[in-house]
């Protein structure tokens, strides 16, 4: 794992966006893995700036998002589908048919997950963007004694429900389940992985990536088996 430690959130976001820009400009039909949360918002903002400056073209790009709440309608402003439209998709020139996000309104989640994995495997992901939960979760792969390998429906832990409650108003129900790419879906199908993290709250999770131990109670540690992982984080996440 390669660490790049930045002064602050802005520098982290710029460095992450530059990695994406370089990839897209050298491979205009590349496949991107994308994440939601507060962490990637700055990265997406920079990508939109590059697009507006005519420095980047998304028309040949295919995307796969990591996760979505379940059940969740696409047009719900709390959905990850909505988040991606608001922060990136509607602001640049992706082709709609090239965007893939787990379907939070499917009646048959098992079948959906199987097909999502098959599609990811057939495309392959050139660069997978990941955030990280305070408890070390990736997507919605939550701490457990055993992790599920492929895309699956999962129950969220109290810590994640708590962390995500900031996005919901008191009278809205915070989802307790989600569809998430599995750790093996991510590791097996991504050529390169970019994990971004900022703030003291992420320090414990980032600290667990510095040694050579793998622990399913900290799902992000599984990424250590992947040969090409870059972690771009700010000083607070790195040093605490
Ligand atoms: C959610 C998402 C994760 C994300 C994490 C951290 O649980 N499912 O993919 O990495 O939150 O979010 P944030 O970037 O807001 O700290």
In this structure, the residue with its CA closest to atom 13 of ligand 1 is 37
Q: Which long-range contacts (CB under 8 A, 24 or more apart) does 75-82 make?
A: 78/167, 78/168, 78/172, 78/175, 79/104, 80/36, 80/104
Q: Which atom of ligand 1 is nearest to the CA of 139?
A: 9
Kindly give the distance from the C-alpha atom of residue 139 to the centroid of ligand 1, in angstroms, as a whole number: 7
The residue whose CB lies within 8 Å of the most ligand 1 atoms, and thus the one to mutate among 39, 64, 131, 223, is 131
Is residue 171 scored above 70 in pLDDT?
no
DSSP letters for 101-161: ---TT-S-HHHHHHHHHHHHHHH-EEEEEE---TTS-BTTB---SS---SSEEEEPPHHHH
Per-residue pLDDT band for 100 (boundaries 50, 70, 90) equals very high
| pLDDT average, residue stretch 130-141 | 96
This prediction's pTM: 0.96
When the pLDDT of each residue in the chain is averaged and rounded to a whole number, the result is 96
**Count of CB atoms situated within 10 Å of the CB of 214:** 14
């Amino acid at each position: 794992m390669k660490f790049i430690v930045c002064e602050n959130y802005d520098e982290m976001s710029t460095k992450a966006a530059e990695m994406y820009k370089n990839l897209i400009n050298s491979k205009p039909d590349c496949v991107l893995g994308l994440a939601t949360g507060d962490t990637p918002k700055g990265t997406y903002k920079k990508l939109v700036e590059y697009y507006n400056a005519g420095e980047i073209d998304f028309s040949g790009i295919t995307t796969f998002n990591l996760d979505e709440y379940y059940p969740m309608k696409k047009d719900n402003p709390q959905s990850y589908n909505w988040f991606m439209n608001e922060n990136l998709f509607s602001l640049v020139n992706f082709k709609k048919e090239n965007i893939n996000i787990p379907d939070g309104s499917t009646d048959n989640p098992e079948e959906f997950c199987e097909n999502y994995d098959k599609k990811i495997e057939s495309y392959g992901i050139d660069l997978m963007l990941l955030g990280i939960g305070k408890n070390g979760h990736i997507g919605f792969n939550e701490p457990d004694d055993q992790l599920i390998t492929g895309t699956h429906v999962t129950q969220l832990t109290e810590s994640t429900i708590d962390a995500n409650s900031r996005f919901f108003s008191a009278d809205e129900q915070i989802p307790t389940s989600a569809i998430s790419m599995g750790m093996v879906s991510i590791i097996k199908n991504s050529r390169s992985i970019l994990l971004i993290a900022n703030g003291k709250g992420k320090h414990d999770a980032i600290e667990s990536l510095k040694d050579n131990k793998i622990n399913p109670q900290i799902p992000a540690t599984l990424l250590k088996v992947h040969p090409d992982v870059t972690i771009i984080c700010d000083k607070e996440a790195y040093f605490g």
